[in-house]
Structure formats: C-alpha cells, structure tokens
Amino acid sequence: MTAPNARRPRQLRIEVLRHNPADAASVPRLQGYELTEAPGMTLFIALNEIRETQDPSLQFDFVCRAGICGSCGMLINGRPGLACRTLIQDMDPHIRLAPLPVFELIGDLSVDTGKWMRAVGERLEAWLHGAAGADVDRMEAPMDPDLADAIYELDRCIECGCCVAACGSAQMREDFVGAVGLNRIARFRLDPRDGRDDGDFYELIGDDQGVFGCMTLLGCQDVCPKDLPLQTQIAFLRRHMARRGFGGG
Ligand code: SF4
Ligand code: F3S
Ligand code: FES
C-alpha cells in the first residue's frame, strides 16, 4: 500500500548547454533530457543516469561525489554550485545546466578549473616560504590550537571555482585572482611557519588583479559550498593594506 503522503515520482527535464570546443563543427546548443526522479536523487545521479541510458557523449566531471574534490561545479539554473551536493527534490523539475564561466571549456559541463587555479597559485606563490636559511625550529614549533583552527577553516577551500564563476570582476578581467586567491593569501598570512611578512603578501595582492579588483559584489560568499568567510577575509586584507598605504593601480 502506498503511504498517504508519498509523492509520485516526477518527470524531470534537464537541459544542458552543450558544446565541444575541440570540434570545429560543434555549435553551442541546449539539449533536453527526460528522466524520472528517484528518491534522494542528486544532479550527479541524474547526469550519470542520462549518460548511462541516453547519451554516452555527455561530458561532465565528478570524482568524490561528496563535496570534497571540487570537480563537479556547474551553473545550476544560472547559479554556480556542486552537482553532487544538489538534491533534485528541492528544485523545480525543469532544470537548466551550463558550464562554469571564466574557466576554459573542455566540453559540455566540463571545465578546466585546475589550469586556472594553478596559474593563480603560482602568481600568488601559494606555498609556505621558509625564512632565509630554512628556520627548522620555527617550521616545527607547536601551533596554538585556535590559530591552527583558523588556518584549517580557510584550508577547507576545495577549489571548485564556484566563487570565481559568480564574480563579476573575474568575468570582466581574466587576471583577477578572485575570492579563492585572496582566501589563499589570507591563509598563508595567518601561518606562522611562513617566512613572509605583511608587506610581502600585500605586494602580491595590492593591485587590481588582487584585493583592489574586488568590487564587493558578494556573489563569491553566497555560492561557496564550504561557507568560507570570504567577505571577512577580503575586507580584512583591504583594511590592513589601506592602512599600510597600498592603494591599488
Ligand atoms: Fe569553491 Fe569556496 Fe574555494 Fe571558492 S572559496 S573555490 S567557492 S570552496
Ligand atoms: Fe567578486 Fe566576491 Fe569581490 S564576488 S567582486 S570577489 S566580493
Ligand atoms: Fe567531488 Fe562533487 S564530485 S565535489
């Protein structure tokens, strides 16, 4: 017997913006797929079903299926989000998907966030810098637990690219490091094992490619699937830099 409140499975229509830039004959187009909703279905499950039963050529990326690897970012009804963490039961049955903007398109919903993140990481030197002569004692000194927590909080970034895709500045200027880059700098600035001082960090982001390129549009924090305090970090960096006389340009 059917439970009185059981909902009949809905028919879904998922439209995907498809394009293969490697194929000169490919023209961007919306392609629609119909399927039946299943309990607990995520967009990841739906896309897999489409690929397995209807269209093996559909391109999209997944690794962890658990909101950890950051590879399944896409525009979901126009908003950047992780497909593996998006439950269809919370959505209208007519869903539109498109690849994240800003990043190089590989095909359909698959984009190369890794290339973009690597370039920003290199530009911001996003790795621990030892002091001259490699200060081993400092590198191995116990860290205050609250400070370790604060660093860990910023380290939760999974480099999914959603904040970049949601940012008008990043869409207008390709050299802007985005909230993900500024979060990276905030993270290393906190880390006592890093031998750089505030001036070194501010040199890296004290221009329109960095913190002064941010127009406080706030989309980054709205869409971050890890709920990182991006606004607080950006405001903090900007305030401290302004005090030290860095003014953009
Ligand atoms: Fe993704 Fe958030 Fe990291 Fe941006 S800051 S890349 S939205 S996890
Ligand atoms: Fe972009 Fe976030 Fe600044 S959306 S403009 S980085 S506040
Ligand atoms: Fe890893 Fe979605 S598949 S975050």
Is 82 within 8 Å of 160 (Cβ atoms)? Answer: yes
72, 103, 160, 214, best to mutate for ligand 1 pocket (most atoms within 8 Å of CB): 160
Phi and psi torsions of 65, nearest 5°:
60, 20
Q: Closest ligand to 109 CA?
A: 3
State the distance from the centre of ligand 1 to the C-alpha of 6, rounded, in angstroms.
36
Alpha-carbon span 16 to 245, nearest angstrom: 48
The token duo for 220 is: 């980054």
- Give the pTM: 0.92
Q: What would the DSSP string read from start to end of 98-146?
A: E--SSSEEEETTEEEHHHHHHHHHHHTT-SPPPPTT--HHHHHS---HH
CA dihedral 62, 67, 73, 77 (to 10 degrees): 110
Residue 70 near ligand 3, beta carbon < 6 Å:
yes
Report DSSP letters for 165-223, one per residue. Answer: HT-HHHHH-TT--HHHHHHHHHHHHH-TT----HHHHHHHHSSTTTGGG-----HHHHH
Say yes or no: CB of residue 226 within 6 Å of ligand 1: yes
> Quick check: CB of 102 below 6 Å from ligand 1?
no
- How far apart CA 141 and CA 230 sit, in angstroms, is 28
Nearest-CA residue for atom 5 of ligand 1: 180
Instruction: Encode pLDDT of 113-167 as tens digits.
Output: 999 999 999 999 999 887 555 567 777 788 999 999 999 999 999 999 999 999 9
Verify whether ligand 3 is closer than 6 Å to residue 64 (CB atom): yes
User: What is the length of the chain?
Assistant: 249
pLDDT tens digit sequence for 194-248: 989 989 998 999 999 999 999 999 999 999 999 999 999 999 998 888 877 765 4
Q: How far is the CA of 82 from the centre of ligand 3 (A)?
A: 7
What number of other Cβ atoms are within 10 A of residue 160's Cβ? 28
How far is C-alpha 125 from the chain's CA centre? 19
The pLDDT tens digits for 155-198 are 999 999 999 999 999 999 999 999 999 999 999 999 999 989 98
| Whether residue 65 has its Cβ less than 6 Å from ligand 3 | yes
The CA 5 to ligand 1 mean position distance, Å, reads 38
237 Cβ inside 6 Å of ligand 2: no
| Alpha carbon distance 155, 146 (integer Å) | 14
| Gap between the Cα atoms of 33 and 108, Å rounded | 14
